[in-house]
């Protein structure tokens, strides 16, 4: 399956700490995306990283991509209670014209 | 601030009834996706369209589900007849391309009794 798999599936941290989650996938990709879902809401796109990129930043978010290991990581620095959410990675297999979403990481930031 | 809108936001119905969910994609987006989310199965892709043409609906039960795009501003997902196992949150998303960023609507929370 091309579906990305996030790890850990659940993470609980104190406000101010950094949160790191990983995503692994099986086949080559054109891009990998991270989304956030707050409870009861739709998914919100956070960042897209293309297969020829190794790292990307957006505010307190840092995404890395290692295509040799078929894995990506999402780092949230200086976490806030508002970062409590589920985080999904989504991949597109090269030649497969759609995204496949993982099952998500649940992150709880304790104030 | 362009957004995907979905109606209704909540729907409670009885088994056997028809359910129609509607989605207005972001103007200018040529791809539309329907997803279903449950605790057990996670996020499942049901069907998707490009330029209003259905590309793949292999993710949904054909005998009871149907998805259409009557025009560029409206996508519909219909369940007839509905069953309790259809209870889930149904999301619509639109985007500028099939594997590009997707913009999700707020979802329709469906409960079939």
pLDDT of residue B98: 84
> Considering all CA atoms of chain B, what is the largest pairwise distance in Å, rounded to the nearest integer?
38
Closest-CA distance, A79 to chain B, in angstroms, reads 24
pLDDT of residue A2: 42
**Cα→Cα distances A106→A85, B22, B33, Å:** 6, 29, 24
Per-residue pLDDT band at A23 (split at 50, 70, 90): very high
pLDDT of residue A3: 62
Mean pLDDT, chain B, whole residue set:
94
Of B56, B63, B66, B52, residue with least CA distance to B19: B66
- A74-101 mean pLDDT: 88
- A34-41 mean pLDDT: 94
B48 touches chain A (CB under 8 A): yes
- Phi/psi region, residue B57 (left: phi>0; alpha: psi -120 to 50; beta: rest), is alpha
Residue A27 confidence (pLDDT) above 90:
no
B45 touches chain A (CB under 8 A): yes
Task: List the CATH number of the domain containing B87.
Answer: 2.60.40.10
Could you give the number of structural domains in chain B?
Answer: 1
**pLDDT per residue over A48-63, tens digit each?**
999 999 999 999 999 9
- B55-67 mean pLDDT: 90
Residue to substitute from B96, B99, B109, interface A, most A β-carbons within 10 A: B99
Among B residues 72-111, those touching chain A with beta carbons less than 8 Å apart: 91, 93, 98-107
- B35-44 mean pLDDT: 91
B29 contacts in chain A (CB < 8 Å): none
Question: Structural domain boundaries of chain A?
Answer: 5-31+45-110
Closest chain A residue by Cα to residue B10: A40
Domain A5-31+45-110, CATH homologous superfamily name and number: Immunoglobulins (2.60.40.10)
By Cβ distance, the residue of A41, A97, A102 closest to B99 is A97
- Phi (first) and psi of residue A8, to 5 degrees: -75, 165
d(CA A73, CA B43): 20
Mean pLDDT, chain A, whole residue set:
90
Per-residue pLDDT band at A96 (split at 50, 70, 90): low
d(CA B36, CA B107): 9
Per-residue pLDDT band at A94 (split at 50, 70, 90): low
Range of the domain at B15: 5-112
Residue A1 confidence (pLDDT) above 60:
no
């Amino acid at each position: 399956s091309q579906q990305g798999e996030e790890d850990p599936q659940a993470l609980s941290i104190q406000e101010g700490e950094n949160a790191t989650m990983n995503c692994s996938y099986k086949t080559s990709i054109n891009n990998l995306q991270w989304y956030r879902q707050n409870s009861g809401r739709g998914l919100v796109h956070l960042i897209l990283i293309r297969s020829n990129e190794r790292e990307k930043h957006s505010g307190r978010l840092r995404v890395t991509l290692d295509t040799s290991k078929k894995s990506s990581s999402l780092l949230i620095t200086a976490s806030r209670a508002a970062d409590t959410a589920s985080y999904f990675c989504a991949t597109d297999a090269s030649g497969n014209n759609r995204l496949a979403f993982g099952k998500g990481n649940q992150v709880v930031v304790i104030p | 601030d362009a957004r995907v809108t979905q109606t209704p936001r909540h729907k409670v119905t009885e088994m056997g009834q028809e359910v129609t969910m509607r989605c207005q994609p972001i103007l200018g987006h040529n791809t539309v996706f329907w997803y279903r989310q449950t605790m057990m199965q996670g996020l499942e892709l049901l069907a998707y369209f490009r330029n209003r043409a259905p590309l793949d609906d292999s993710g949904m039960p054909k005998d009871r589900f149907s998805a259409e795009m009557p025009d560029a501003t409206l996508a519909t997902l219909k369940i007839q007849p509905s069953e309790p196992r259809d209870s889930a949150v149904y999301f619509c998303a639109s985007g500028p391309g099939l594997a590009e960023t997707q913009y999700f609507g707020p979802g329709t929370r469906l409960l079939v009794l």
